[in-house]
């Protein structure tokens, strides 16, 4: 169906979440299609994965730009040129500029490896262990100007085992992320189509 929501995925690394979203979007009844993958790291593994799946890619080296805003303006050109309607951050390790976020109100999703509002930022698994938490998980949320602060779309939890390390937790949470992100993208894209 051609009325699917045109979606871009921003990555910085392996692109495992990107690949999971792209796989989900291959189903004919999925309301979003992945039309572009952008990375701020030209050698990011995920770019090759995306290309192998037939998805157009763009590598924009953030070190070639004077500041965050000029980088984001260049990214915006690529998004507009591809008629993108929705953005998913998937292991994208840059903070988006307030200007960029303002261009995409309620149209940027992110997946974060903690049960927000707990543990915004980095090292979430170790922080959950250090706090003696009984459970941990991941959150899909809308992106706003503050870090890991936008409206929560969905969450998935797992119990923390007594022998868990930050590495073992990271692996467990990553497995949760793929289906959760796909489900959240499905829901948001459905709402966008309904509001058209």
Annotated catalytic residue, options 62, 112, 125, 136: 112
Phi, psi values for residue 4, rounded to 5°: -70, 155
- Is 136 tagged catalytic? no
22, 182 Cβ separation under 8 angstroms = no
Active site residues: 112
């Amino acid at each position: 169906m051609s009325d699917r929501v045109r979606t871009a995925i921003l990555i910085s690394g392996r692109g495992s979440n990107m690949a999971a979203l792209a796989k989900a979007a291959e189903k004919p009844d999925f309301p979003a299609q992945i039309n572009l993958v952008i990375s701020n790291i030209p050698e990011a593994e995920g770019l090759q994965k995306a290309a192998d799946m037939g998805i157009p890619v763009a590598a924009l080296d953030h070190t070639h730009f004077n500041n965050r805003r000029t980088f984001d303006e260049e990214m915006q050109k690529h998004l507009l040129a591809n008629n993108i309607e929705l953005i998913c951050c998937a292991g994208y390790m840059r903070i988006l500029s307030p200007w960029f976020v303002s261009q995409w109100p309620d149209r940027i999703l992110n997946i974060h490896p903690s049960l927000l509002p707990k543990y915004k930022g980095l090292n979430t698994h170790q922080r959950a262990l250090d706090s003696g938490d009984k459970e941990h998980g991941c959150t899909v949320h809308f992106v706003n100007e503050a870090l890991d602060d936008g409206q929560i779309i969905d969450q998935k939890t797992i119990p923390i085992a007594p022998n868990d390390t930050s590495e073992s937790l990271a692996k467990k949470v990553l497995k949760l992320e793929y289906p959760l992100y796909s489900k959240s993208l499905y829901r948001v894209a459905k709402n966008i189509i309904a509001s058209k």
